[in-house]
Structure 1
């Protein structure tokens, strides 16, 4: 474990403004949030705060909110996000000493919506990958980045990495995440994937109107919806298609 808690303090005048009025963010402001496992998945509907929290953690760690490795920024003068400005990371004792300087921090932030543009910008630069990911499929490019950059103990943030990955590629990502955890890394991932969240020994945090809640894999809304849909797609589709008519 590298960080064991995230917290933040804000001016009371901002508490009703986005993103501080999002229930999950409000809970972090009021109580903080503790990490108990090397791998944490954040799940929930769009707008529940998953990406907002992951990008704020990335910024607090010294990563660019648009993605990239520790110690390097895609755009150096880009202002931090509102939550990234105030969020505080609490390091475990051993990593607090090891990461006394921001330059010593290891990690990477893979953000699906900006990854392709970032990959095209840094391909071939020192400290990145040699392969030309522009000559690969989107999924192959993702896997190249993951295999190259997710290799050493450090803090690794991901925002919907499954977006470009097939079923079998998601399984490869699960193996990579597991390996990171076994060598002393920590992974925090926002996802809509029931495949990724099934990783044994991981912690699943469900975000929603209730705030933040730890939920077993089989009891998440994500898994329940996918299970019911695969068993009987018509149960969902008949309502959606009728609405379109």
Structure 2
């Protein structure tokens, strides 16, 4: 473990303005977010704020908001978000050493929509393979050192078998002392044994078991009877 708790202090804010209007952000301001396992999954519907939250966590650790490794500090020339610049951490002793020295800080922020650009920027050019294979090449070639690995919907480019391979990489990272924080819609990824799952939504944030996840329930019901869902969206 590297980070035990993330929090943000804002003296005043307008709760009808983004990002303060997002329930999970308000919950972060009120209570912070504790990390109790080496892998934490943030799960929620589109628009729930999980990507806003995970980008801010990456920025708080010093990772480029565009995506990339600790070696490329704001290489995209984007400044920190209004939330990211306020993120602070309670860390383990090893985490404090990382946060206290830029040269000691290790990690990577992978966001689905900019991952290939970030990899090209770092001299990693998987042009001869598919989009999904490029993602896996990143996991094999860039996710190596113990550090903080932040991911935003990595399953977007991955097949079922590739998601399983990603879980293998995540497991290897955590065995080496890394910590992973991942926003996802994937019932496959969130089934990782020992992972902490935080569901994000109108309620803010709360911890759930895999079997209690709304997305798991929906997929289970869909596979059992697709027409029960399709009749609502197809003419």
- Interval containing the TM-score (normalised by the shorter chain): over 0.9
Aligned match of 1:23: 23
Q: State the number of aligned residues.
A: 235
1:152-167 correspondence to structure 2 within 5 Å: 152-167=145-160
Instruction: Show structure 1 runs of 5+ residues with no match.
Output: 124-128
Aligned match of 1:126: none
Task: Measure how far apart 1:53 and its partner are.
Answer: 0.9
* Cα distance in structure 1, aligned partners of 2:35 and 2:4: 5
Give the number of the structure whose residues are more often helix, by fraction: 1
Q: What's the CA shift string for 1:199-236, capped at 9, x where partnerless?
A: 00001100001110100001100100111111111000
Tell me the SS of whatever aligns to 2:46. Answer: coil
The answer to whether the 8 Å contact 2:66/2:76 transfers is no
Select the residue among 144, 147, 169 that pairs with 2:140.
147
Aligned match of 1:56: 56
Aligned match of 2:200: 207
83 and 99 in structure 1: CA distance in 2 versus 1, 3 angstrom threshold? closer
Q: What's the CA shift string for 1:8-35, capped at 9, x where partnerless?
A: 0113233332111111110010111110
* Cα distance in structure 1, aligned partners of 2:155 and 2:230: 23
Task: Measure how far apart 1:76 and its partner are.
Answer: 5.5
1:161-200 correspondence to structure 2 within 5 Å: 161-200=154-193
RMSD: 1.3
The answer to whether the 8 Å contact 1:68/1:118 transfers is yes
Q: What's the CA shift string for 1:26-64, capped at 9, x where partnerless?
A: 001011111000000000001111111111111111100
Instruction: Show structure 2 runs of 5+ residues with no match.
Output: none
The answer to whether the 8 Å contact 1:25/1:49 transfers is yes
1:235 aligns with 2:233: no
Aligned match of 1:119: 119
TM-score (norm 2): 0.96
* Cα distance in structure 1, aligned partners of 2:199 and 2:45: 9
Aligned match of 2:85: 85
* Structure 1 outlier segments of 4+, above 4 Å: none
The answer to whether the 8 Å contact 1:106/1:152 transfers is yes
Q: What's the CA shift string for 1:186-207, capped at 9, x where partnerless?
A: 0000000000000000011000
Task: Measure how far apart 1:118 and its partner are.
Answer: 2.1
Tell me the SS of whatever aligns to 1:88. Answer: strand
TM-score (norm 1): 0.92
1:89-108 correspondence to structure 2 within 5 Å: 89-108=89-108
Tell me the SS of whatever aligns to 1:145. Answer: helix
Q: What's the CA shift string for 1:107-166, capped at 9, x where partnerless?
A: 00110011122223333xxxxx4xx31121000100001111111210000000000001
